[in-house]
Amino acid sequence: MHDADYFRWLTCRTKTAWWHDSAHPPELARGLARGAVGVTTNPALTNLALGANRDAWAAEIREVLSQKPEPERQAELLMCIPVTHAAEALRPVYERTGGRQGYVCAQVNPARAGDREVMLPMAGRLHAWAPNIAVKLPATAAGLDVLEECVAEGITVAATVSFTVPQAIAVAERHRRGAGRARAAGVAPGRCFAVLMIGRLDDYLREVARDARADAGEADVRQAGLAVAKRAYSIYRAERYDAVLLVAAMRGTHHVAELAGADLILSIAPPFQEQVLAGGLPQEERIGAEVAPDVIARLSRMPEFVRAYEPDGLAPEEFVSYGVTQRTLAQFSDAGWRLMESFR
């Protein structure tokens, strides 16, 4: 198989779909040409897209700034520009698949990850931007409450800032509950994409391993996020959850190759798309290949891996304080949302 055909094999011959991880129009066009059927964004990515397309979107940006909105509202309105442009580009996919694919993520303010009263109305506003918006909510205790409410109201959601099996299970359970409420009220339930940011988990555990002088080496740490994703996927299949796993924050082609064949979604950023196209990946479904027991054993000597890997490793009220959660929320805020608040 020629490497340029890998995406075609992945999406046409297996159950694995993939979404493009960027809001920059030229990059998105390339992703769609390669078979992407959705777009993941976050505040950092939308801020980058705004800066890169300032001239093309000048009129829309001026319209927002002329309103002199308060900072949080300004960031929300500016985020709307790249998100709705992406939503328009994905509209044909959304219509062709009957709403199963073709979504674009729009994330609530990451600084509000514990604030139900702010996130819920914000979710409603983001949902109204286009029919193919997936409102991105944090997988915190507060975010899960908002997620259930959104699904019950027919709003499609993506649960993000999520790195662990317990978070993936909690998201699926709350989606199930919200969907039940929606059906009882005669409402079509919102769909749910349950994100697992496996590369960010690897990054975090790499620091933990070094700091603790753990037995787990680099080859082990590179498989930590994969172990979590594969365990979560097995549980999703056993429980027949309607929520769909969306594996994100890739750190190399090994993440793509080891999850190939799964009935889930991979979020692939442009740099890793280029690596996939150039990398000689095998045409092989690897989702059923378990991470070796000795690797799991070494990783499990780190309590932070156990918290991520075991289904009961974290309680929902602990999700927000898990180390990589705090790091990611801070990055999304400092490198994205706050910059849009002060955008001039």
Tens-binned pLDDT, residue by residue, of the chain (344 aa): 444 589 989 988 899 999 999 999 999 999 999 999 999 999 999 999 999 999 999 999 999 999 999 999 999 999 999 999 999 999 999 999 999 999 999 999 999 999 999 999 999 999 999 999 999 999 999 999 999 999 999 999 999 999 999 999 999 999 999 999 999 999 999 999 999 999 999 999 999 999 999 999 999 999 999 999 999 999 999 999 999 999 999 999 999 999 999 999 999 999 999 999 887 888 899 999 999 999 999 999 999 999 999 999 999 999 999 999 999 999 999 999 999 999 99
Nearest-angstrom CA–CA distance, 158 and 146: 11
DSSP 8-class letter at 321: G
pLDDT of residue 77: 98
| Beta bridge partners of residue 159, listed in sequence order | 137, 194
Q: Which helix (H) or strand (E) covers residue 194, if one does?
A: strand 192-197
Nearest-angstrom CA–CA distance, 207 and 199: 13
pLDDT of residue 4: 58
- Superfamily of domain covering 3-337: Aldolase class I (3.20.20.70)
Q: How far is CA 323 from CA 42, 76, 106, 307, in A?
A: 19, 27, 24, 11
List Cβ neighbours of 135 (8 Å cut-off, separation of 6 or more). Answer: 105, 106, 107, 108, 123, 126, 127, 150, 155, 156, 157, 158
In a 3-state reduction of DSSP, which class is residue 218? helix
